[in-house]
């Protein structure tokens, strides 16, 4: 369902700014307090720019949580379609949504409109709120409108197995925000990654840190791996609400990465199966998954692998059997969601063998698609690092300068596109369809993206979002 509220709101910003800065122009014409005027002129635009980012981040977080709550409320009510009256179903969905909003505390439910269609055995709903602003008030913008929509069809229970594949290579130790990256760059290597390698220990402000990772933990730097784990925990909240009895949706978790050296990866007898591990077998217990996401070093940022070899994806069928039709627990639909930056790489190749660092070959995702599974990809955007030769000579270089075809068997694009830009193309092709590919950069976008992807793949329940 298309939402025009955000676009209308954004289009009004220039007019609001013009009005507010018109007031400031009167101050400029005044001859009194020149110093104060100069201060205001320099401070206000900066404050508005900073405030816009902060306020829209809060609005995005509220939207993510409100969407998840509305989805869960609608799904819980559809289970009783055919068993209860339309009025009772509507009341049930309303009570669930209001209770979840109250429990969240991150948004106040302003409007809720629920429609029950007995003919199509479906329930649809829209919800809206406004998020108060902070520094954007300087531009006359007091609130950001947020609106979400959801619909679901009932009539029968559907069973799922959700398989989460988490990229655990060193590149996921990237500092997650510009602020966190600035903290990492205070060290001598000017590096934005929290490397576990003790060879790069360093003293900073009188304190010795055995690795850049130890420094990152001490300075409370948020890493991509932390955001990844947080996104999984947020997803468990949605599954709890969608399957409160915990008998329809099983979840399994895998890690992707290997400590093989570059030379071992290049050997023809390399065992690609070693690059992927099932850390949590399919389980209905979201509680167990939450616990392990913060305590199991295989899943936290406390460990990482030096190499990502996506050929390991071809062995996922060792763990995941052919997908069923979803009509019973013994015949569930199968969903694979991979969270990754998509770069086929080895730490050794950063300084030598640069042609091998490329996007993954999307054909490696075909094994599970042939098994009938829906393959989804959450691309945690590979941020350009253009002032460093390690980036410029590898993922920042052209596809034509890589061994994408000869080494990895990929189809070379006709234009001289960079490997960085081709990541999106390769990962989109890896997904079952473009609808099952989402690119996300910020922590809030990554959490929202994972919830949205899983929501899309529950296709037999979800009609629209």
Residue of 410, 228, 396 lying closest to 311 (CA atoms): 410
Model confidence at 464: pLDDT above 80: no
Domains recognised in the chain with CATH numbers:
5-153 (no CATH), 160-174+223-464 (3.40.50.410)
User: How far, in Å, CA of 160 to CA of 8, rounded?
Assistant: 38
pLDDT tens digits along 344-401:
887 777 766 678 889 999 999 999 999 999 999 999 988 777 677 888 888 899 999 9
User: How far, in Å, CA of 344 to CA of 307, rounded?
Assistant: 8
Exposure class string for 153-175: b at 16+ Cβ within 10 A, else e: bbeeebbbbbbbbbbbbbbbbbb
CB atoms within 10 A of CB 373: 24
Model confidence at 293: pLDDT above 90: yes
Please name the residue that has the structure tokens 């599954």: 239
∠ Cα 175 276 351 (to 5°)? 50
Residue of higher predicted confidence among 65 and 127: 127
Exposure class string for 374-401: b at 16+ Cβ within 10 A, else e: bbbbbbbbbbebeebeebebbbbbebee
pLDDT tens digits along 117-126:
876 677 889 9
Task: Determine the average pLDDT of the residues in 80-90.
Answer: 82
Work out the mean pLDDT of the chain and round it to a whole number.
82
Model confidence at 329: pLDDT above 70: yes
Task: Determine the average pLDDT of the residues in 271-285.
Answer: 84
Share of residues in the chain with pLDDT > 90 (%): 37
Residue of 298, 374, 366 lying closest to 336 (CA atoms): 374
pLDDT tens digits along 88-117:
888 988 988 888 888 788 888 899 999 888
The token pair at 75 is 């799904």
Task: Determine the average pLDDT of the residues in 65-80.
Answer: 81
CB atoms within 10 A of CB 181: 17
Q: What is the pLDDT, as a whole number, of residue 459?
A: 46
Residue of higher predicted confidence among 140 and 274: 140
Q: What is the pLDDT, as a whole number, of residue 413?
A: 92
Q: What is the pLDDT, as a whole number, of residue 148?
A: 87
Greatest alpha-carbon pair distance for the chain in Å reads 80
With bands split at pLDDT 50, 70 and 90, how would you rate the model's confidence at 32?
low
pLDDT tens digits along 402-436:
999 988 999 999 888 999 999 999 999 999 989 89
């Amino acid at each position: 369902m298309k939402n025009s509220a955000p676009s209308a709101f954004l289009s009004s910003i220039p007019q609001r700014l013009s009005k507010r800065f018109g007031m400031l122009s009167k101050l400029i014409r005044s001859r009194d307090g020149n110093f104060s005027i100069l201060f205001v002129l320099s401070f206000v635009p900066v404050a508005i720019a900073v405030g816009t980012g902060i306020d829209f981040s809060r609005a995005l977080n509220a939207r993510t949580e409100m969407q998840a709550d509305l989805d869960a409320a609608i799904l819980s009510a559809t289970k009783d379609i055919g068993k209860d009256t339309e009025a009772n179903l509507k009341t049930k969905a309303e009570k669930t949504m209001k209770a979840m909003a109250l429990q969240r505390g991150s948004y106040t439910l302003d409007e809720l409109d629920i429609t029950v269609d007995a003919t199509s055995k479906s329930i649809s709903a829209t919800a809206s709120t406004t998020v108060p602003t902070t520094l954007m008030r300087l531009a006359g913008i007091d609130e950001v409108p947020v609106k979400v929509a959801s619909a679901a069809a009932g009539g029968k229970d559907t069973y799922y197995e959700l398989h989460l594949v988490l990229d655990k290579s060193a590149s996921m130790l990237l500092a997650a925000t510009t602020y966190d990256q600035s903290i990492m760059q205070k060290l001598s290597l000017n590096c934005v990654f929290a490397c576990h390698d003790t060879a790069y220990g360093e003293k900073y402000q009188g304190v010795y840190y055995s690795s850049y990772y130890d420094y990152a933990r001490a300075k409370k730097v948020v890493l991509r791996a932390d955001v990844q784990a947080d996104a999984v925990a947020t997803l468990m909240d949605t599954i709890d609400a969608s399957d409160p009895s915990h008998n329809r949706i099983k979840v399994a978790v895998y890690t992707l990465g290997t400590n093989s050296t570059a030379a071992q990866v290049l050997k023809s007898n390399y065992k690609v199966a070693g690059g992927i591990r099932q850390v949590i077998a399919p389980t209905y217990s979201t509680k167990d998954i939450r616990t392990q996401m913060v305590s199991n070093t295989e899943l936290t940022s406390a460990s990482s692998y030096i190499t990502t070899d996506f050929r390991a994806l071809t062995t996922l069928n060792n763990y995941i059997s052919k997908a069923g039709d979803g009509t019973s627990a013994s015949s569930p639909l199968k969903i694979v969601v991979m969270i990754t930056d998509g770069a086929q790489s080895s730490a050794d190749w950063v300084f030598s063998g640069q042609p091998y660092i490329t996007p993954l070959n999307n054909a490696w995702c075909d094994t599970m698609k042939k098994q009938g599974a829906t393959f989804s990809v959450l691309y945690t955007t590979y941020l350009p690092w253009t002032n460093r030769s390690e980036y410029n000579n590898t993922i920042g270089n052209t596809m034509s300068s890589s061994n994408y075809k000869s080494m990895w068997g990929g189809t070379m694009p006709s234009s001289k596109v960079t490997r960085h830009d081709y990541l999106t193309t390769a990962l989109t092709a890896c997904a079952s369809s473009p609808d099952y590919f989402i690119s996300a950069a910020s922590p809030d976008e990554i959490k929202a993206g994972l919830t949205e992807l899983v929501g899309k793949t529950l296709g037999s329940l979800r009609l629209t979002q």
